[in-house]
Structures are given as structure tokens and as C-alpha cells.
Amino acid sequence: MVTVNFLHFTPCGLILDVTGVLLLGFAFFLKTTESMIEESGTTWDSKAYITVVASKCDGIFGSGLLVLGFVYQMLGYVGAESTNAVLISYLALLVFLLAYVAFLRGWLIHKWVGDIEEKFRERQP
């Protein structure tokens, strides 16, 4: 029988990878019909950049978690062990995910959309 100790770097890295893949998937799986219509630019007042910004946000954090997960897997592969570091990583992941869903994603999207709209205003005659 195979047992997995989740307090080692390798399984923690795999969990980080799965979480990163899910965040990357948000960019595609959570699209509503309205956001797809908006992104395709098939409306008169298209603001396709809003959905692109949301995808960028999910892509940045999802890719970051994937990279971190691969680093943790490499640490596990070379035999590094630190139960405390892994426990802190799980806690940090939980806090990050809660903050990302509750606040960070929306705040970043709002900020980046504001930056884009400011650039649009600067280009107006």
C-alpha cells in the first residue's frame, strides 16, 4: 500500500500545480455568454479589454503557482524536507486563494481597466 505524506515538498508542489491550472482555467471556464460576446467585439460599445484583463490576471497568478509548484516538486525530488515550510505554504496558499477570490482579482481588474480607459482618454482629440 502506498501512503502519501502531504507534509513533503512533492505533494505540496502538486497541489500548487493543480491550483495554478485551475486559476489558468478561470480565464476560459468562467466566461459567460455576455463576456464572450463582449470579447469577440460583436457589440457596438465593445469593451473587450475587460475580459482580456481578467484573463491576464488569472494567467499571471496561475502561472506563478505552476512555477512555484514545479520548484517544490524539484525540492522534493532532491530530498529536501521541511514540514514547517510546507505547512506555511499550505496556509499561504489558502490565504492567497481567499484574498484572490474575495478582493485581489477584482481590485486588479478594476485597476488595469482604469489604466486602459485612461490611455483611451489620452488618445482622444
Question: What residues does each domain of the chain span?
Answer: 9-123
Contact status, residue 85 vs residue 6, Cβ threshold 8 Å: no
Per-residue pLDDT at 15: 94
Rounded Cα distance, 67 and 72, in Å: 9
Residue 3: predicted pLDDT: 74
Residues 39 and 51: their CA atoms lie apart, in Å, by: 6
Per-residue pLDDT of 72-120, as tens digits, reads: 999 999 988 899 999 999 999 999 999 999 999 999 999 988 888 888 7
Say what the pLDDT of residue 44 is: 60
State if pTM tops 0.85: no
Whole-number Å distance between alpha carbons of 107 and 47: 18
Handedness of CA 12, 16, 17, 21 (dihedral sign): positive
Q: pLDDT band for position 41 (50/70/90)? A: low
- Winning range, highest mean pLDDT, from 28-42, 49-63, 92-106: 92-106
Report the 10 Å Cβ neighbour count for 113: 16
Residue among 23, 28, 108 nearest 69 (CA): 23
